[in-house]
Amino acid sequence: MSLPEYSKYIIIGAGIHGLSTAYHLAKTLKDTGKGDGNDIIVIDKDTIASGASGIACGVVRNNYYQPAMRELMAHSVDVWESDPEAYSYHPVGYMQISCEAMHEDVSRIFKEQKAINYDSVFIEGDVACKDYMKNIYSDWQAENITSVLHEKRGGYANNSKSMNGLASKAQSEGVRIISGVKVMGFHRAHGASSAIRSVETNKGDISCDYVVIGAGPWVRDFWNMLELPKFVDIKGIDGFVHKDIGMWTFWQLEEGVLNVDPNMFKTNDGCQPPVMHVDTDAVLKSTVDDSIITEEGNIWGLYYKPDFHFGGVQGGAMPYPIKTPADELQLDPYGPASPEWISSPKFAHMWVSALAHCHKRFEGMMDKYHKEPSGGVGCFTPDSFPVFDEFFENCYIIADSNHGYKMLGVGKLVAEHIIGKTSELLKPFRFGRYSEGELHPTSNSPFPWS
């Protein structure tokens, strides 16, 4: 497909955010009589879902300590549920299984889920939790568990299948998706207006009226092209201003697959299980030689699910920050290029041992571990929560801070914002929250995005 000289709307990135925005913008324009999908192009330096969205674990959940995240995710779950076939979405539910250090946090999440009518069940106490879990899995054996939050909505989607389904929905509305177009820069107006007038690419310039950037972990590069601040001042809840905090950090999100028949991980009644997430401070012993991996009192966590796309039981564990300075990091479509970014034996040992800690059926399965291209690299904001905001009058930046894949509904809200209907759900994620001190609360989870 040839590159046009002009498009009213240019969307950069053919992943979850770019395609969702394109599809919903096309529908919104048509519904309001302000245009249609023929006014929109999506450009990507590779192809549909060739980046982070194509290797995502695919978990869809509402387990957030932050009210703003919880409400936004409830909206996104609505969108996932609106067309589960096209989105390759499996509404199996989600379980947050936690130790006592997280009990109060998870209890609050449950109460606030009830307040927004999000269907979930909360179990408290070690005996009650063990009984509840054994009623689902007869081989359940995780220790130090004192709370279980069972979200009846949510689940997971198959990454590339869902992205291709979303792309088809956008194309059916007239949206053009053009691959192999790399953005080199932006041309902006001078004087009273600072708006973007055209996008410079490796195949020529494209004039435009509006730009949306939904580039996943590559958002840092576009941020720098637009000469937005590399450092920010952050006002804490105590009123103290923390100066010159780096805007971006990168975390490695290691994931892998246990190469077994996905059907071997089912519930007692033979059904597909919910997505599982366990955080505990129990001793973690090796499933290989019974050696100690993690001492008691140190919280560790993992998530897992059977997945026919990956061909086994797939999941991951706690991420870790990448030491390379943010401005020196070079990204490729499937994660980092240096050896430290490749799924390590240490991760594999920990994750498979953690599976065995939770279920007897996974004991002695270290030889079944298989590295798949999943997980990848996350580009995180200073508080590890997304930035959704408009810059230079006509440029909307979706900086998801690794929450992206599950947030299918963000594109719908951005589309509404573009035509003048600003959502209250997006307001807590504006860039100005840092200087204004309107930050999201933090939990005791070992995962930075919870």
The first and second tokens of residue 353, run together, are 């041992």
According to CATH, the topology of domain 94-152+249-380 is D-Amino Acid Oxidase; Chain A, domain 2 (3.30.9)
Mean pLDDT for back-to-back runs of 10 residues, the chain (450 residues): 93 96 98 97 93 84 90 96 97 97 94 94 98 98 98 94 96 98 96 95 97 94 96 90 93 88 97 97 96 93 91 87 78 45 74 97 95 73 94 96 85 97 94 93 70
Beta bridge partners of 210: 9
H helix intervals, 227-305: none
DSSP element (H, E) containing 356: helix 345-358
Could you give the CA distance from residue 342 to residue 332 in angstroms, rounded to a whole number? 12
33-68 burial string, b = 16+ CB within 10 Å, else e?
Answer: eebbbebbbbbbbeebbbbbbbbbbbbbbbbbbbbb
CB 196, CB 188: distance < 8 Å? yes
Q: What pLDDT is recorded for position 450?
A: 62
Work out the burial of residue 444: count CB atoms within 10 Å of its CB; fewer than 13 is exposed, 13-18 middle, 19 or more buried.
Answer: middle
Q: Are strands 6-12 and 40-44 parallel, antiparallel or unpaired?
A: parallel
Work out the burial of residue 363: count CB atoms within 10 Å of its CB; fewer than 13 is exposed, 13-18 middle, 19 or more buried.
Answer: middle
The first and second tokens of residue 391, run together, are 């810059």
426: number of Cβ within 10 Å? 21
The first and second tokens of residue 202, run together, are 């490796």
Could you give the CA distance from residue 276 to residue 171 in angstroms, rounded to a whole number? 34
| Domain residue ranges in the chain | 1-90+155-242+385-450, 94-152+249-380
| Cα maximum dimension of the chain | 69
262: number of Cβ within 10 Å? 19
Q: What pLDDT is recorded for position 159?
A: 87
Beta bridge partners of 122: 149
Could you give the CA distance from residue 70 to residue 89 in angstroms, rounded to a whole number? 19
Place of tokens 């200087």: 435
Beta bridge partners of 259: none
Could you give the CA distance from residue 300 to residue 285 in angstroms, rounded to a whole number? 12
Could you give the CA distance from residue 148 to residue 387 in angstroms, rounded to a whole number? 30
Could you say which architecture CATH assigns to the domain 1-90+155-242+385-450? 3-Layer(bba) Sandwich (3.50)
Could you give the CA distance from residue 343 to residue 352 in angstroms, rounded to a whole number? 13
Helix %, strand %, coil % of the chain (to 5): 30, 30, 40
Q: What is the Rg, in whole angstroms, of the alpha carbon atoms belonging to the chain? A: 22
DSSP letter string, 396-435: EEEE-TT-GGG-TTHHHHHHHHHTT---TTTGGG-TTHHH
314: number of Cβ within 10 Å? 26
Length in residues, the chain: 450
